[in-house]
């Protein structure tokens, strides 16, 4: 154990603040340089809690899991929802969830889901965070203009998207109800015959070579979701959708 210097404490505090603010770009937040600590420097002596004597979380003690659900509005789903979709924005929840990144750090992400599965999914993500299952990104598909292809290519984990069933031009996917979620899409691609989506997922069609982020039948991720009533697309026979969990509509 080594002692924390004042600079290290300031840096650690800013690093945690960056984590709490979320990492929407997907890149790990750079550790702030100790010499550039305007937030700490400007807080002034009158601000309580600014003392360097305060305990600061270290890399070995990541923040506690946070899972918060609020009612979604049309502003949360500007591209992923349109009139005629099977559920309206008022039936959706916007979840803010702590997740464990591939960078071995905690992040906050956002997931849009049907209200009926919100609490169950908070518990699922609490389990994934506890188990340090790595998630690349956790952003609404609206961050990708509602494009499932773009979201998948980014290795993003998302749920609600009012769109047809993959590989079809008609019928609503369970994602249209906010009751399906795709997890780590590159590590867990959609495979139908020779079609692999996203294309970057091709190296992960070899499911026997287990790498971080991959989901397997019976593993901790599979158990976390199926315990809460979800079924896994990797258990399907006509095709394999390894990224996909869905709840009955
Ligand atoms: Zn899916």
* pLDDT digits 0-9 by tens, 178-217: 999 999 999 999 999 999 999 999 999 999 999 999 999 9
Distance CA 80, CA 180 (A): 14
CA atoms within 13 A on the CB side of 190: 15
Cis peptide before 198 (omega within 30 of 0): yes
For the chain, first and last CA: distance in Å? Answer: 52
Gap from CA of 245 to ligand 1 centroid (Å): 7
* pLDDT digits 0-9 by tens, 107-118: 999 999 999 999
pLDDT at 245 over 90: yes
Gap from CA of 18 to ligand 1 centroid (Å): 30
pLDDT at 30 over 60: no
pLDDT at residue 169 in the model:
81
Gap from CA of 15 to ligand 1 centroid (Å): 33
Gap from CA of 217 to ligand 1 centroid (Å): 16
pLDDT at residue 3 in the model:
39
Average pLDDT value for the chain: 83
Query: 3-state class of 238 per DSSP?
Result: coil
pLDDT at 9 over 50: no
pLDDT at residue 42 in the model:
35
* Residues, CB-to-ion distance under 5 Å, ligand 1: 180, 182, 244
Gap from CA of 44 to ligand 1 centroid (Å): 49
Gap from CA of 104 to ligand 1 centroid (Å): 25
Percent of the chain with pLDDT over 90: 72
Q: What is the mean pLDDT of residues 167-176?
A: 89
Query: Cβ distance 125 to 99 under 8 Å?
Result: yes
Gap from CA of 103 to ligand 1 centroid (Å): 25
Gap from CA of 229 to ligand 1 centroid (Å): 16
Q: What is the mean pLDDT of residues 125-131?
A: 98
pTM of the complete model: 0.76
> Closest by alpha carbon to 221, among 242, 247, 199?
242
């Amino acid at each position: 154990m080594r002692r924390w210097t004042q600079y290290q404490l300031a840096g650690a505090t800013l690093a945690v603040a960056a984590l709490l603010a979320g990492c929407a770009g997907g890149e790990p937040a750079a550790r702030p340089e100790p010499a550039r600590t305007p937030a700490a420097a400007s807080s002034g002596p009158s601000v309580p809690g600014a003392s360097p004597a305060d305990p600061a979380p270290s890399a070995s003690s990541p923040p506690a899991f946070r899972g918060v659900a609020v009612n979604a509005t049309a502003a949360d789903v500007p591209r992923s929802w349109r009139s005629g979709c099977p559920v309206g924005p008022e039936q959706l929840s916007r979840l803010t969830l702590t997740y464990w990144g591939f960078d071995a750090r905690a992040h906050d992400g956002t997931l849009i889901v049907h209200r009926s599965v919100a609490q169950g999914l908070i518990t699922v993500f609490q389990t994934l965070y506890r188990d340090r299952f790595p998630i690349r990104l956790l952003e609404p598909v609206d961050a990708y203009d509602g494009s499932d292809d773009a979201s998948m290519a980014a290795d993003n984990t998302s749920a609600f998207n009012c769109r047809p069933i993959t590989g079809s031009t008609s019928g609503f996917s369970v994602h249209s109800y906010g009751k399906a979620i795709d997890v780590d899409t590159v590590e867990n691609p959609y495979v139908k015959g020779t079609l692999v989506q996203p294309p970057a997922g091709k190296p992960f069609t070899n499911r026997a070579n287990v790498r971080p982020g991959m989901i397997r039948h019976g593993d901790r991720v599979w158990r976390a979701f199926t315990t809460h009533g979800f079924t896994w697309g990797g258990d399907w026979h006509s095709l394999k959708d390894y990224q996909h969990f869905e709840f009955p509509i």
